[in-house]
Structure 1
Amino acid sequence: MSPPGKAVVLDAPGTSRLVEHVPRRPGPGEAQVRVHAAGMCGRDRDLYLGRRPAPYARYPLTPGHEWSGTVTAVGEGAPASLIGRKVVGEGLWNCATCARCRAGETDLCTVGYEETGFTRPGAMAPTLTLPARLLHTLPPDADLTAAALLEPAARAAAAVLKAGPLPGARVAVIGAGALGLFTAQLLGAFSPSELTVVDTGPGRAALADRFGATAYRTWDRPSGLVDFDLVIDAVGAASTARAATSLLRPGGRLVLTGIPVHGAAGLDPARLVARQLSIGTALGAPSGAWSSAVRAFSAARLTPLELVTHQLGVDEFERAMALTAGGDPRVGRVLLRP
């Protein structure tokens, strides 16, 4: 169990401490949430290691952008009906009024970047206060431990919505991490004729099968990895975008997501044009993708709990970070419990 009332604070890259948590009362239009659990992912590791450029990180900071909880209080102008509701929340503090937000592209808000857990206090603390408009309510019987992973599920939903899959398509997903598995599970709703998950090793074949894959392949055994109608790259490594194009049929579609890195190798525009490949991208999740993921979760079409392998107190932040970065295939998602 975590010490009562404690929060994680990163004073600078590589420097963390546990502090007394002082809840912030919700201001106008805001809600206060009692945090149930906060997830950890590669973006948290990048924050911890100082790999995020200045506009996208602000120290000192309480991290935690994947979370679930229950609303305990609201400020003036926020719906009182939220109190007592189980919720998750969008990370990007969109303004809801600029042209991009009004067009539904809240992940492209032009007012400026602010995100829970990166520039705003995150959920590795007993409470979290944020704009009520960012909240998505869950059913009363929702499992909040599973719901803590709805942030990567929303990003997967954004990629699937961008892809626009058609029934009967041959589809491949690159990557068997949380993002790739959620992508596969959401793609299953579109009745693909084939749904192949491609990863670097065989360790997640059984898990991919449970998330709806009809086939599982590794790059060293590429038999059958050709002529897909749609490929979604849920890894974002330097080599995967190029590899993904080799899986597509002429006229096929590629969607790039994941945590992209600079300097993707070998994407030849001439080859893309000659084969008439179309490319879409998804980074983050607009409000519509969050709604889609929450609906799928509420209808038991998403099963995040299968990915959780460790639940630790916030006082074990350093251990959780080591587990997340360790590369052990037996380690899935790590949750911190305030």
Structure 2
Amino acid sequence: MSERARSLYFEAPGEVALRERAVPEPGPEEVRVETAISAISAGTELLVYRDEVPTEMAVDPTLEAFDGDFSFPVSYGYAAVGTVTACGDRVDDAWRGRSVFAFNPHESQFLAAPDSLIPVPDSLSATEAALLPTAETATNLVLDAAPAVGERVAVHGAGVVGLFTIGLLAAFPLSSLVAVDPLPGRRNLAAELGADETLHPDRSDRLGDRRDADEPPGLDLAVEISGRPAALDDAVDAVGYDGRIVVGSWYGQKRADLDLGGEFHRARIDISSSQVSTIAPDRRGRWTTDRRLDAAVDLLERVPVEEIVTHQIPFDEAPRAYDLLDGADAGEGSPLQVLLTYD
């Protein structure tokens, strides 16, 4: 057929390009989706863009759209929203015209099995639906962190996932919730979403001292989602005896230089990872991925997505989006959530 689709590829470190290909007809049990919006997951995708991912690591064996590892060239991305435009012979034609979300790389049109798609609820716009993985990751982080009544909590990193995590934690009856981030704009958004206090990382050394006289020293819980290994060391310093640290960051090839020679050992500090591909074993008796997704949709309906989405860039200009994100540490004008739009 004459119609052409475009797919984004990470070609080499610091280089992305759009490749054209034919748009095939869907197989008997497939549908074709025309993409409207896809969200760039800056934390993960910049690791790919900068060649900071272990190349032997599989892209994501839990998602049907991915195969192989992160060796260049690689097609990546996992937050696409679009409309079903064609159905295979064995697919209910009711799918045609439906707005759907897919864990699919950035591309203008793609094929998928219907059971791998998530129909977009009427309560969400396409822009909000593109942030479903973000809300789901934050939900998973809070499930793993298991905050309790009256606890003192800090979130290190007020990027997109950090902000959603703060918004969710703010609904708990905590004693205090502190957001730590270097950018004033992000700290302001964290306060808007419910953080009681916000700090620059350079001032985080006093986190563990913030308590009432009758409370034990140190934080009860720290969530590290900044992508900065140094923030994990700050979290170790901040939590007190029997404190918990949940790490949502993926550092790729960056090393975390932790000071574990002080109180860490005697204080019985617990450090655990949280990753959205799976639900923690102790939660699987009652939590399914469908239930977690429903909770993520509820979270999306409460978070001011219009303030978090700072840039919408045409798919044709995708290289500019990654250049912009790659310079995000330059200052306050840096982007938060970048979306690619498809006309």
- The TM-score, its normalising length taken from structure 2, stands at 0.77
C-alpha contact 1:21 1:126 (8 A) present in aligned 2: no
Gaps of 5+ in 1: 91-115, 117-121
Q: Supply the distance in 2 between the matched residues of 1:239 and 1:263 (Cα, whole angstroms).
A: 9
2:306 matched residue in structure 1: 305
SS in 1 for 2:302: coil
Q: Supply the distance in 1 between the matched residues of 2:29 and 2:143 (Cα, whole angstroms).
A: 29
Closer, same or farther: CA 316–291 of 1 in aligned 2, 3 Å: farther
**Out of 111, 117, 134, which is 1:135 matched to?**
117
Work out the percentage of aligned pairs sharing the same amino acid.
30
Distance apart, 1:305 and its partner CA = 3.0
1:183 matched residue in structure 2: 165
C-alpha contact 1:138 1:298 (8 A) present in aligned 2: no
1:337 matched residue in structure 2: 341
Q: Supply the distance in 2 between the matched residues of 1:29 and 1:278 (Cα, whole angstroms).
A: 46
- Amino acid of the structure 2 residue aligned with 1:275: A
Q: Supply the distance in 1 between the matched residues of 2:98 and 2:291 (Cα, whole angstroms).
A: 16
Question: Between Structure 1 and Structure 2, how many residues are aligned?
Answer: 305
- Cα distance per residue 1:243-268 (max 9 Å; x no partner): 10221121121101122254311242
RMSD of equivalent CA atoms: 2.9
- The TM-score, its normalising length taken from structure 1, stands at 0.78
C-alpha contact 2:180 2:201 (8 A) present in aligned 1: yes
Gaps of 5+ in 2: 57-68, 209-217, 280-287
Q: Supply the distance in 2 between the matched residues of 1:75 and 1:187 (Cα, whole angstroms).
A: 43
1:280 matched residue in structure 2: 272
Q: Supply the distance in 1 between the matched residues of 2:275 and 2:90 (Cα, whole angstroms).
A: 31
2:98 matched residue in structure 1: 85
Closer, same or farther: CA 321–242 of 1 in aligned 2, 3 Å: same
C-alpha contact 1:36 1:145 (8 A) present in aligned 2: no
2:47 matched residue in structure 1: 46
User: Which structure has the larger Rg?
Assistant: 2
Q: Supply the distance in 2 between the matched residues of 1:50 and 1:224 (Cα, whole angstroms).
A: 35
- Amino acid of the structure 2 residue aligned with 1:243: D
- Cα distance per residue 1:263-307 (max 9 Å; x no partner): 311242774341122222113433746753553434613333321
Closer, same or farther: CA 272–33 of 1 in aligned 2, 3 Å: farther
2:231 matched residue in structure 1: 240
Closer, same or farther: CA 81–273 of 1 in aligned 2, 3 Å: farther
- Cα distance per residue 1:187-225 (max 9 Å; x no partner): 223332311101124332221112221211123334751
Closer, same or farther: CA 9–199 of 1 in aligned 2, 3 Å: closer
